[in-house]
Structure 1
Amino acid sequence: MNYKKIVISLIFLLTVSGLSSLSAQQYQISLLTCDPGEMIYTSFGHSGIRVLDLSTGRDVVYNYGTFDFGAPNFVLNFAGGRLDYYLSVSTFDRFIAEYDYFQRSVREQVLNLNEQQKLDLISFLETNYLPENRAYRYDFFFDNCATRVRDAIGSVLGDQLVWNDEVQEPVDKTFRELIDEMVYFMSWSDLGIDLALGSRLDRDATPQEEQFLPKYVEASFSRAEIQGDGPTRPLVGKSRVILDFEKPEGSFGAINPYWIFWVVALIFTAITFIGFKKKKLFLGFDIVFFGILGIIGLVIAALWIGSEIPSTKYNWNILWAFPGHLVLAFVFFKKTLQPWVLRYLLFALIMADIAVVFWIMGWQSFHPSLIPLLLVLILRTNYLYYNIGKFRPVKK
């Protein structure tokens, strides 16, 4: 009789233990990290949170990186820092199908959360998904799809989450260098980013600030630990590759600013030499050149003054791409020049020289392809300052 009681008790305990284990593992929550794509808005990668309900099979991904291309004034709002992103929810299968179609690798890190932490995180996400909460003002560096995922985990775990950033290899990188890692071979996009964003990008990013890029969130999660609710354990319990595609080799492409701008520099060097020999100015070239620089300067000034994006402020590209150059281009159409033209040419020459100093001193890093354009600007402003009065009458 005692033997039967012992057997029955063991069976009961094992059953209860099994049910408790099943309850503790009702949810599986993971960080999904997706490799960059070929379009500029996909070139930095992506992060999402997967929530799998093991009891019902419901499998969804919370995605903070959703935006509407068809929204009114999309481009102006994006450039002005007034674009809202929002949290969306899709099935895991649909989420993976998109990345499979575009052949972008996806990796999963299953998080070592206890049951209460899982429920708290799901509640946090569901609250964020309410219609009145799901939209947020997007900031590329400090509030995006990757930082939102990191902050969601941090909000739920609080002081129990230890990032262990000190154990990583100390390599100081500026925000601009971090961007270059992702768009280096997208040379025109890289140039556009460097033209639009100012000197604030040229300070070193902290380990937490690096996490505006999904790959750094993934690396940080792999180092992090949970403490204070029992034995210390890694934040990530296990990792796996869901989709694995070979990364294409990087290439600048046949048409890129590096060789094009050097061709422009050679052309201007040639016409300056020929003009000096034949006593001609060839102002048609300068009208185009200064006109383009002036238009770029207007865009830089508009972003500096009118955008709510802090990173567009203090953009010293305006030293060489100055809006006033557009006025100079129109003035060159006239047969008689105003006296201020000579003073402006000297001003433009000094401004270009200051831009070079800013670059050398590290106050702002300009895109490398701009070297020949700066040389052209210095060459032509110098040549015109000393020679334009010889071939064009100047009012006194």
Structure 2
Amino acid sequence: MPRLAPLLTCLLGLLLLAATPAYAQEAPPWGTGESQGEDLSIYLATFGPGDDVASWWGHGSLVVEDKRLQHSRLYNYGMFSFDERMLARYAMGRLEFWVDDASPQGTFRLYRALNRDVRLQELNLTPAQKVEMGRLLAENVQPENRNYLYQHYDDNCVTRLRDGIDKVLGGQLRQAMSVPGRMTLREHTRRYTDVGPPMSLLLDFLMNDEIDLPVTRWQEGFLPDELERQMAELQVVGEDGQKRPLVAKNLNIYEAQGRPETPATPPKYGPMLALLGFALGGGALALAIWGGRTGGRAPRILLGLQNAVVGLVFGIPGLALFVMWLGTEHTVTWRNENLFLANPLTLLALPLGVQVMFGSTKARERLLRLWVVLAGLGVLGLLLKALPMFDQDNWRLIVLLLPLSLGMAGALWVVRRAWAPSVAARTSEPLSPSLKTS
């Protein structure tokens, strides 16, 4: 991004899967000076969330219509090239987007087919402002102007619309919205990703305290619904010096059927994650105690399996976060406090857990040392929260991963004290001379 989180906010569904940069069509009448301001209409189009992760955030575009010349175009700043290099560019924080123009009605049909809301707000601009907006859009879509480096929170397909509207309004939008926002960027991210809890938790893990800082309503305008709300509330000063609503008319083109609404506030899943963390840590201890009492294979296999799964599920994100900090431009991942909780070391629990399943005593000892280190790092991260610079809103991750690490360390300590050498380890030892046959 250099920002993360949903990464591809402005995806146009299946249309973009095959998208490649193309030259803009012949200049529209508002780009050549043929259109008169009195004949133009400018609309902010807001599209509701979709099914896939990239579309959870919704989307927005601007529509220009010349009613006299019967010409209209939709300007979409959410285009990008979906090719073999796309994932590499995104991983490095260098994903490039561009603006393209298309048929409004064709775009509306696409979103209707995807069962996504389609809403229009006709902007109450002066004739001169309409001409200026049309000129800016026609200019931006030209090959030499169309590309920009995507940043999820600061420079995306919706902030480009916001900035253009603010420019023709002479800065009135930014001035009016330079007031405290309703919530932090993390809280907005969590409420929009509530439809997919695992992905929501992953994004929460990957992002640092940059998105926990207080923001203004202007900054909240990176979201389509938030920009739409701001348009509806804004009163602008006209040529006569009088204030008037910025939105002249609302048009509801299509309302999605059976799609859950985005919650107004972020979900409160902290208590559930705490229960899960204590259950996983306590479960590991229970397996260790069971194995010490019975000496059977089942607890050994289950404990090894749990370590392997935990190493896989939390080790890969920990490794990815570490790499993103050191080797990419995703500044929102840098100096992330969650590395105290899960990091590349966590991934070692995967091979060591598999070895424990097959009876390796050495792997059990190595796992003990591993979890002692990881638990110690988790406790250190918790203690550092007392310092002002460690202000990341990661308590949900702490209550999940710290009890898990402590429970794993405790379980492996019980294994060392209470478990007899495994059958596999005993049978792999060489026979004593007295037992050898001649």
- TM-score (structure 1 length as normaliser): 0.80
1:162 and 1:226 in contact (8 A); partners too: no
* Cα pair 1:44 1:214 within 8 Å, conserved: yes
Specify the alignment match of 2:378 in structure 1: 352
Aligned equivalents of 2:155, 2:413: Cα separation in 1: 48
User: Which sits farther off after the overlay, 98-107 or 337-346?
Assistant: 337-346
Q: How does 1:1-396 map to 2 (within 5 A)?
A: 23-69=36-82, 71-161=83-173, 164-165=176-177, 172-227=182-237, 229-232=239-242, 233-249=244-260, 264=280, 267-278=283-294, 282=300, 284=304, 285-327=306-348, 330=351, 333=355, 335-336=361-362, 344-356=370-382, 363-366=391-394, 368=396, 371-385=399-413, 387-388=415-416
Please give the secondary structure, in 1, of the residue aligned with 2:169: helix
Please tell me whether the aligned partners of residues 208 and 332 of structure 2 are also in contact (alpha carbons under 8 angstroms). yes
Show structure 1 runs of 5+ residues with no match: 1-21
Q: Secondary structure at the match of 1:173?
A: coil
Q: Quick check: 1:337–1:392 contact (8 Å CA) kept in 2? A: no
Aligned-residue offset at 1:363: 2.6
Checking the alignment, whether the CA contact within 8 Å between 1:304 and 1:313 is kept in structure 2 is yes
Q: Secondary structure at the match of 1:208?
A: helix
How far residue 36 of structure 1 moved from its aligned partner, in angstroms, is: 0.8
Question: Which is further off, 44-53 or 266-275?
Answer: 266-275
Between the aligned partners of 1:241 and 1:206, the Cα distance in structure 2 is 28
Q: Answer whether contact 1:261 1:369 (CA < 8 A) is retained.
A: no
Tell me the distance in 1 between the aligned counterparts of 2:175 and 2:77.
22
**Secondary structure in 1 aligned to 2:75?**
strand
Code of the residue aligned with 1:388 in structure 2: it is: R
Q: CA deviation at 1:215?
A: 0.6
Offset at residue 277 of structure 1 (A) = 3.5
Change (3 A) 1:339 1:113: same
Separation in 1, partners of 2:123, 2:241: 15
Range that drifts further, 266-275 or 42-51: 266-275
Cα distance, 1:110 vs. partner? 1.0
Gaps of 5+ in 2: 1-34, 422-438
Instruction: List per-residue Cα deviations over 1:287-335 (Å, max 9, x = no partner).
Output: 4433543332111111222221221222222112121233465467464
Contact 1:34 1:46 in 2 (8 A): yes
> Structure 1 CA distance, aligned partners of 2:313 and 2:420?
23
The answer to which of 150-159 and 326-335 deviates more is 326-335
**Are 2:282 and 2:407, in contact at CA under 8 Å, matched by a contact in 1?**
no
Letter in 2 for 1:57: Q
Q: Kindly provide the CA deviation profile for residues 230-281 of structure 1, in whole angstroms up to 9, marking residues without a partner as x.
A: 23322222222121234524799xxxx9798787556424313313434788
CA deviation string 1:2-60 (max 9, x = no partner): xxxxxxxxxxxxxxxxxxxx954211001111111111111101111010011111111
Question: Using the alignment, how far apart are the partners of 2:171 and 2:310 within structure 1?
Answer: 57
* Greater displacement, 299-308 / 341-350: 341-350
Partners in 2 of 1:273 and 1:296 — Cα distance? 30
| Counterpart contact for 1:34–1:105, Cα < 8 Å | yes
What is aligned with 1:14?
none
Distance 2:410 2:87 in 1: 38
Q: Which residue of 1 aligns with 2:6?
A: none
- Structure-2 separation of matches of 1:330 and 1:40: 31
What is the rounded CA distance, in whole Å, between the counterparts of 2:246 and 2:256 in structure 1? 26
Q: Deviations over 1:177-233 (max 9, x none)?
A: 101221112112212211222222222322111111111101111222333632332
SS at 1:120's partner residue? helix
Contact 1:194/1:367 (<8 A) preserved: no
Q: Percent identity?
A: 26
Helix, strand or coil at the partner of 1:383: helix
- Describe the SS at the equivalent of 2:100: strand
**Residue 62 of structure 1: CA displacement?**
0.4
Q: Give the direction of change, closer, same or farther, for the CA distance of 1:328–1:41 in structure 2 (3 Å limit).
A: closer
